């Protein structure tokens, strides 16, 4: 077994257990524990509890691996491998009972920065629907047992485009203006509320492309590998790698037209 598939199997197992806890806490009723950077940026007690569960299992089963989580911060790696974790991506959906949230677990080699890491394994699990997307580097992307693939280029009637908004009100105004400029090439727009699920939607051909500015490493680590293993491209403009500035995900056949439209929208 390769290191990638060993890590992927462990990540799947941990994501299932974490998802079960998240779903149970959701059924019991969610309490918002704190507001972070802005009114929309909330954390529930379940976010913290689910991250603690994931961290404890990683520490027990892979001592020496690093950890970078949304709620509990960073832990150094002595193995070169780091677990990049969003315990509940789509926290606002979770708090409102919208069944579009996910446990996102990426395992990366090297500095835990999307511009530098090599992703080894990724799991995105939505416990509300039971769907579990996973990929190990070089071994393809799957929804459960089924291999998945990105769409070919959309036809002239337009692309189904997913995006998201950060929590900073000023940035949101700008993001809405950019989105307005993307409408001419769009069949329609989706704002699903969880970056990891937007990425897996590209991977499974449920949308044609996704872009967002302001993503954290844990929003993208798992989902970006799943897109790439499903035959898609993840990056930014001008051949740059995805980062907090910008992440774009699309099929190779749609990449040139989509990135050109986005570059124009961002420049105007
Ligand atoms: C957020 C979601 C949302 C995206 C934001 C993220 P959170 O993560 O993924 O879709 O637009 O940029 O911060 O706060 O729900 O874990
Ligand atoms: Ca998140």
Give the position, in ligand 1's atom list, of the atom nearest the Cα of 196: 9
Ligand nearest, relative to CA of residue 219 = 2
At 42 the pLDDT is: 61
Instruction: Give the residues of the chain that fall short of pLDDT 70.
Output: 33-34, 36-42
* Closest ligand to Cα 96: 1
**Which pLDDT value is given to residue 30?**
73
Ligand 1, residue 195: give the atom nearest the CA.
9
Last residue of a domain, one of 112, 147, 182: 147
Q: Which residue do the tokens 């959906």 mark?
A: 93
Enumerate the β-bridge partners of residue 150: none
Please identify, by atom number, the ligand 1 atom nearest to the C-alpha of residue 86.
Answer: 16
Per the domain annotation, does 21 fall within a domain? yes
- The reported pTM is 0.96
Is 153 a member of any domain? no
Instruction: Say if residues 112 and 119 touch (Cβ distance below 8 Å).
Output: no
Residues 139, 222 within the same domain: no
Kindly report the backbone phi and psi dihedral angles of residue 226, in degrees, each rounded to the nearest multiple of 5, phi listed first: -65, -40
Which of 90, 98, 128, 94 is closest to 223 using CA atoms?
90
CA of 192, closest atom in ligand 1: 10
263 in helix, strand or coil?
Answer: helix
CA angle (89 as vertex; 87, 90 as ends), nearest 5: 140
Percent of the chain with pLDDT over 70: 96
Number of domains in the chain: 2
Output the CA–CA distances (angstroms, integers) from residue 203 to 34, 164, 207, 222, in the order listed. Answer: 33, 17, 8, 12
Whether residue 15 sits in one domain with residue 67 = yes
Q: 1 CA distance to ligand 1 centroid (A)?
A: 34
What pLDDT is stored for residue 38 in this prediction? 65
The reply to whether 14 falls in a domain is yes
Among all ligands shown, which has an atom nearest to the Cα of 193? 1
Which residue has its alpha carbon closest to ligand 1 atom 16?
A: 89
- Say whether both 176 and 122 belong to one domain: no
206: CA distance to ligand 2 center in Å?
20
| Closest listed ligand to the CA of 213 | 1
Cβ proximity of 263 and 255 under 8 Å = no
Residues with CB in 5 Å of ion ligand 2: 86, 89, 219
Residues 130 and 167 in one domain: no
Closest residue by Cα to residue 65 from 51, 53, 50, 81? 81
pLDDT for the residue 37: 65
The confidence score (pLDDT) of residue 75 equals 82
| 180 and 235 both lie in a single domain | yes
CA-proximal residue: ligand 1, atom 2 (nearest): 194
How would you class 244 by CB atoms within 10 Å of its CB: exposed for 0-12, middle for 13-18, buried for 19 or more? Answer: middle
Residue 74 has a pLDDT of 83
Tell how far the Cα of 210 is from the centroid of ligand 1, in angstroms: 14
**CATH code at 63?**
3.30.540.10
**How confident is the model over 11-40, as pLDDT tens digits?**
999 999 999 999 999 998 877 766 766 666
Strand partners, 210: 162, 249
Residue 143's pLDDT is: 98
Question: For ligand 1, which residues put their CB under 6 angstroms from it?
Answer: 70, 86, 89-92, 164-166, 193-195, 212, 214-215, 219
Classified as helix, coil or strand, 29 is coil
> CB–CB of 137/152 below 8 Å?
no
- Return the residue whose CA atom lies nearest to atom 12 of ligand 1: 166
Which atom of ligand 1 approaches the CA of 92 most closely?
15
59: CB partners within 8 A, 6+ apart: 67
Domain encompassing residue 260? 159-267
Say what the pLDDT of residue 167 is. Answer: 85
Beta-strand runs (E) in 102-140: 102-109, 118-126, 131-136
- Residue 95 belongs to a domain: yes
**What CATH number does residue 251 fall under?**
3.40.190.80
């Amino acid at each position: 077994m390769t290191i990638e598939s060993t890590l992927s199997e462990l990540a799947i197992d941990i994501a299932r257990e974490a998802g079960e806890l998240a779903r149970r806490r959701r059924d019991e009723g969610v309490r918002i524990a704190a507001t972070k950077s802005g009114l929309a940026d909330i954390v529930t007690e379940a976010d913290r509890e689910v991250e603690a569960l994931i961290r404890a299992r990683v520490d027990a089963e892979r001592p020496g691996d690093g950890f970078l989580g949304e709620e509990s911060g960073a832990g150094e790696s002595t193995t070169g491998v780091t677990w990049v974790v969003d315990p509940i991506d789509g926290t606002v959906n979770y708090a409102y009972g919208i069944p579009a949230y996910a446990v996102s677990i990426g395992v990366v080699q090297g500095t835990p920065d999307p511009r530098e890491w090599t992703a080894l394994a990724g799991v995105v699990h939505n416990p509300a629907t039971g769907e579990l997307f996973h990929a190990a580097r070089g071994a393809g992307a799957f929804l459960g047992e089924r291999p998945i693939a990105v769409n070919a280029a959309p036809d002239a009637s337009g692309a189904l485009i997913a995006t998201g908004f950060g929590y900073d009100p000023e940035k949101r105004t700008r993001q809405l203006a950019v989105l307005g400029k993307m409408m001419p090439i769009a069949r329609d727009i989706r704002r699903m509320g969880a970056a990891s699920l937007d990425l897996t939607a590209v991977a499974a051909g449920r949308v044609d492309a996704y872009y967002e500015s302001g993503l954290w490493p844990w929003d993208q680590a798992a989902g970006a590998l799943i897109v790439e293993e499903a035959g898609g491209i993840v990056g930014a403009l001008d051949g740059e790698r995805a980062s907090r500035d910008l992440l774009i995900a699309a099929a190779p056949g749609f990449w040139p037209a989509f990135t050109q439209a986005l570059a124009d929208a961002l420049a105007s």
